[in-house]
Amino acid sequence: EAGVAQSPRYKIIEKRQSVAFWCNPISGHATLYWYQQILGQGPKLLIQFQNNGVVDDSQLPKDRFSAERLKGVDSTLKIQPAKLEDSAVYLCASSLGASSGAGANVLTFGAGSRLTVL
């Protein structure tokens, strides 16, 4: 089965510029996640979608980050304007169902999009 596809793999921008990342989850996976992974740290959840609805965006810096999953399949994550501290790998993951307690599903991750903000 095809994995989670992400693009671009690498992006270098200057601070205050904007950037967008794209994710295509595994076919049939209802839940999609965006994680931010800063160098040397574990992934941190930014936003979780169930189909095209937002389940959790409590850690998303909404003044500069936005994400959408309009048709319940592909998703985009946008940063505008970017700050130096946004330099990180942005990981997209998907799972069959919602991650919730004992019913948590296994997440399959994409390779990530590495962002460098200068």
Partner 1 sequence: GESVGLHLPTLSVQEGDNSIINCAYSNSASDYFIWYKQESGKGPQFIIDIRSNMDKRQGQRVTVLLNKTVKHLSLQIAATQPGDSAVYFCAEASYKLIFGSGTRLLVRP
Per CB under 8 A, residues contacting partner 1 are 4, 39-45, 48, 56, 91, 93, 99-102, 104, 106-112
Angle among Cα 34, 38, 39 to the nearest 5 degrees reads: 140
HSE value, Cβ hemisphere, 13 Å, CA-based, for 29? 28
- Shortest distance in whole angstroms from residue 7 CB to partner 1: 13
Angstrom distance (rounded) from CA 97 to CA 79: 27
Measured from the Cβ of residue 71, the count of other Cβ atoms closer than 10 Å reads 9
Shortest distance in whole angstroms from residue 16 CB to partner 1: 25
Cα dihedral sign for 52, 94, 17, 66?
Answer: positive
CB of 5 to partner 1, least distance (A): 11
CB nearer partner 1, residue 8 or residue 16: 8
Nearest approach, Cβ of residue 33 and partner 1 (Å):
8
Q: Which is nearer to partner 1, 79 or 89 (CB)?
A: 89
CA 58/CA 79 separation, integer angstroms: 16
Q: Closer to partner 1 at the Cβ: 17 or 111? A: 111
**Cβ closest to partner 1, residue 20 vs residue 45:** 45
